[in-house]
Amino acid sequence: MKITVETQVQAPMAKVWDAYTTPADIQQWNAASDDWHTTRASVDLRVGGTFSSRMEAKDGSFGFDFAGTYTRIVPHALIEYAFGERSCVVEFVSNANSVTVRVTFDAETQHPLEQQRDGWQAILNRFAQHVQSKA
């Protein structure tokens, strides 16, 4: 089962792409809610390169690593990656004054689909807010 989430970012493509692929930026936006944060992130943006981020509850009660390997990259257009047995496609589509960022990923079986969709959508919404606050 695939899940798709998307957002409109009111910023130029270069700023959107950079914020999505720069570790310092990822640490600013990569959380589904204010009580979580990303404590570290790394990006080796090339086919076969890896990425990872550490997401933790701010109260220290829980944390996990999210990591994978890039399988396809088209600058300013597409990022595909594998994480575990799952995959994800991130599309960047230029519009007149914005960029649509669309993320399609393989659902996992532990959590309800709606919970997964809502979590990934919340992260993407925070991404858009972060980029727009920098623009």
Tens-digit pLDDT profile for residues 70-125: 999 999 999 999 999 999 999 999 999 999 999 999 999 999 999 999 999 999 99
- The whole-number pLDDT of residue 124 equals 97
- The whole-number pLDDT of residue 134 equals 82
pLDDT tier, 130 (very low <50, low <70, confident <90, very high otherwise): very high
Q: Is the pLDDT of residue 135 over 80?
A: no
Distance CA 82, CA 68 (A): 5
Q: Exposed, middle or buried, 95 (CB in 10 Å: 0-12/13-18/19+)? A: exposed
Tell me the whole-structure pTM to 2 decimals: 0.95
For 2-134, the fitting CATH number among 3.40.470.10, 3.40.50.1100, 3.30.530.20, 3.40.1390.10 is 3.30.530.20
- The whole-number pLDDT of residue 118 equals 97
Neighbours of 130 (CB within 10 A): 19
